[in-house]
Structure 1
């Protein structure tokens, strides 16, 4: 007997769709509209946090729909690790992250350095560094700072820029890339 979840997907159907992603070639996305239309029926995000020791490897989009229960799990995972405050993250940022990951053709999960950032944390970081925006998209749940061991900051930034889904900040000295779903723009080096 197939178990059907509240969103109408069977466990077998999800597993079959997940397996199919391993044989589908990743499209190259050149604009946000094309990226969103070309993302396919399955979207997956893989990350770990060196700060909390947690990891997540999940399908968050199936057949044109975000999966609400999974989005809640990702929101919790991307919480402000300094004070455990959570926020409703913008799933469009997951799309940018997932597409960039697919374009780089890696199996390694992202290392999440910073997802949601509470106003208190943002103010504290601003007091210590001039590189932290006063109205950071991290506080709106629209940004993530990410690292991969197997790819350079330049490779990560190029993949994210190809998606044209938001801002891409290159932080070579700190070895991470900022990806957000705000206005398309780039900075850093």
Structure 2
């Protein structure tokens, strides 16, 4: 059933026009909060972990307020499962993940590959791969690596980039996208 009014505009067309306007008006992270507010009265994260088998479907923000217990649950879900350590995930990272997911217009949850990483885990991964930064934002709880089966790395990265709110790395060979709340930048292919 199409959600249209008498003028023939669909709800999706109007939301798309609003999103395009909001993106144009939000070129820096300091203005990105306004863009994220355009996502509606709730912010929700849907993810699963292939490593732990855990699933998360969590509304963590309602009407301008973060829900403390929900954020705590997200922090646990995004923990370093290798050493079972948690860290508070930067709320800006959660907002970027949620906004990009909304822009992709999918109900499929992200597969979380990496959220928080302890220094030990980061050092171990760095010894195995040149693609792991020595001072990774994962160790500060400011980054996540995700994938979606129904969307390409390019589609996911374009959605994240349209938020103009942090770093976006494309890892096409490994089929995942890195999103963080650091300086706006992009890398990878």
Q: TM-score range by the shorter chain?
A: 0.7 to 0.9
2:52 counterpart of 1:52: yes
2:106 counterpart of 1:102: no
- Does structure 1 retain, via aligned residues, the 8 Å contact 2:164–2:184? yes
* Deviation (angstroms), 1:179: 0.4
Q: Which residue of 2 aligns with 1:73?
A: 73
What SS class does the counterpart of residue 113 from structure 2 fall into?
A: strand
- Does structure 1 retain, via aligned residues, the 8 Å contact 2:147–2:153? yes
RMSD across aligned C-alpha pairs, in angstroms?
A: 1.4
Equivalent-residue separation in structure 1 for 2:76 and 2:105 (angstroms): 27
Equivalent-residue separation in structure 2 for 1:58 and 1:121 (angstroms): 26
* Deviation (angstroms), 1:165: 1.1
2:146 counterpart of 1:146: yes
Equivalent-residue separation in structure 2 for 1:56 and 1:126 (angstroms): 28
Q: Which residue of 2 aligns with 1:21?
A: none
> Residues 63-97 of structure 1, C-alpha deviation per residue, up to 9 Å, x if partnerless?
10100100000000000011111001101111100
What SS class does the counterpart of residue 144 from structure 1 fall into?
A: strand
Equivalent-residue separation in structure 2 for 1:111 and 1:136 (angstroms): 20
Question: How many residues get paired?
Answer: 166
- Range with bigger deviation, 25-34 or 51-60: 25-34
Q: Which residue of 1 aligns with 2:43?
A: 43
- Does structure 1 retain, via aligned residues, the 8 Å contact 2:44–2:61? yes
Which runs of 5 or more structure 2 residues have no equivalent in the other structure?
Answer: 1-13
Structure-2-length-normalised TM-score: 0.84
Structure-1-length-normalised TM-score: 0.84
* Deviation (angstroms), 1:25: 4.1
Which runs of 5 or more structure 1 residues have no equivalent in the other structure?
Answer: 1-23
Moved over 6 A (4+): none
> Residues 120-177 of structure 1, C-alpha deviation per residue, up to 9 Å, x if partnerless?
0001111111111111000000000000000000000000000111000000000000
Equivalent-residue separation in structure 2 for 1:140 and 1:110 (angstroms): 21
* Deviation (angstroms), 1:39: 3.1
- Range with bigger deviation, 24-33 or 93-102: 24-33
Q: Which residue of 2 aligns with 1:170?
A: 170
